[in-house]
Chains A and B, each alone.
Chain A
Amino acid sequence: MSDGLGWPVIAVLSVGIYAERAAGMFVLGPALRSERAMRVLAAVPVAVIAAVVALQTFTVGDRLAVDARVPGVVAAALAVWGRAPLAVAVVLAAVVTATVRALGWAA
């Protein structure tokens, strides 16, 4: 087993990640109370989630990649756009991605 994946690393990360969350909750959040700051903060989840979607759909490690996830996520987006239930969209994403892979159309 690599040292990089041992318990000391996990311990440091656990403390570090909690510190990040607590800093937002107890320091950054209370400090940003102006009307403008509140408006920007309300948009932060949209920016963060869009960024994570982009990463999880179009990247592998540190490079861009278009693979079978793309048609799956696009199918889910279309389903959501058509006001399909969340469960339908998520299952559709997995089915489309798995199918495209099984057919060998994309990695």
Chain B
Amino acid sequence: MTGHQHQYEQDGAEQREAPAGSDAHPAPAPTAPAERPLVARADVLTFAATYFVVGVTVALICTTAGMAPWLVAVAAVTMYSATSQLALVAVITSGGATLAGLASALLVSARFGVLAAAIAPRLRRGAVRRGVAAHMVVDPSVALALAQPDDDAAEWVFWRVGINLGVAWLIGVVVGVVVGPHIGDPHRYGLDAVFPASLVAILAASLRAGGRIMLAVALVAGAITLTLTPLVPAGIPVLAAVLASGLVLASPTPVGAGR
């Protein structure tokens, strides 16, 4: 991923002038072979592996909390939000009311609405296509797609990453439900560090492309989140952190690839 990012920083101008219509494999950098992917296959596989691990972990936590195994798997598809599913379980198992659990889960997932708004202008028209795309909105698919220099590339990366992660996540949840009782505590294997670590890698790519102002956005967003977490219900800190993205207006020139 980082290698391609670097390439785009140098070759962004040529990229934008490259002929459109090769949406399966958008125009490569001049030195790259024509079939070179925009996000390396190894990176997509690693993100998929990460989502598999997250799926197993969420399935373990949900079934341990008393959620029916079939329902855990159904929720994985219909909710498609690990953090939201965890928020629900956290509230309910700590004795919270059902309504509080619902509110908490919906607040945690509200960030997907903002991410969907961010990717919407880069995707092609078509209500059905966009309707499906909306469900595929997760943090990595949007971030990696937005880092692409042109809309064709963004669309291709969005779908490729989104579908790979979705499938891996579902397989992880099913595996977690089936073999979960035999695995033991996933924390013993350090699996709870896997999700944030993979997100750090995404962040690094955006920071390299976006410069100091993006670093400021990331730091302020993290600070807002940690400051608010002990004070307000789950989900609100992340939504408040979105305000940090307004910092880019303090930068005189547009930042970020392709905009």
Spell out A's residues near B (CB within 8 Å).
Answer: 1-7, 9-14, 16-18, 20-26, 28-30, 32-33, 35-36, 38-59, 61-64, 68-69, 72-73, 76-77, 80-81, 83, 85-87, 89-90, 92-99, 101-102
Those of B66-121 within 8 Å (CB) of chain A: 66-68, 71, 74-75, 78-81, 83-84, 88-94, 96-98, 101-102, 105-106, 109-121
- Asked whether A69 and B230 contact (CB < 8 A) given A44-B115, A86-B43, the answer is no
Closest Cβ of chain A to B151, distance in Å, is 12
- Whether the Cβ atoms of B115 and A45 lie closer than 8 Å is yes
* Chain B residues near A (Cβ < 8 Å): 1-3, 42-43, 45-47, 49-50, 62, 65-68, 71, 74-75, 78-81, 83-84, 88-94, 96-98, 101-102, 105-106, 109-121, 130-131, 133-135, 137, 139, 142-143, 146, 187-204, 206-207, 210, 213-214, 217-226, 229-230, 233-234, 237-238, 241-249, 254-256, 259
- A87 and B238 alpha carbons, distance in the complex (Å): 26
* Chain A nearest CB, measured from B127 CB (Å): 8
Among B67, B84, B90: residue with most chain A CB under 10 A: B67
B130, A13: Cβ atoms under 8 Å? no
A72 vs B43: C-alpha distance when bound (angstroms): 19
- CB B240 to nearest CB in A, in angstroms, measures 8
Question: Of A3, A13, A23, A63, which contacts B113 at CB under 8 A?
Answer: A23
Given A47-B245, A54-B226, decide whether A17 and B221 contact each other with a Cβ distance below 8 A.
no
Q: Which of A4, A5, A26, A96 contacts B130 (CB 8 A)?
A: A26
A45, B200: Cβ atoms under 8 Å? no
Give complex CA distance A51, B224 in Å. 8
The distance in angstroms between the C-alpha atoms of A50 and B205, with both chains bound, is 12
Asked if residues B121 and A61 are in contact (CB atoms below 8 Å), the reply is: no
Whole-angstrom distance between the alpha carbons of A33 and B120 in the complex?
10
Whether B226 pairs with A59 at a CB distance below 8 angstroms is yes
Interface pair A3/B98, CB less than 8 Å apart? yes
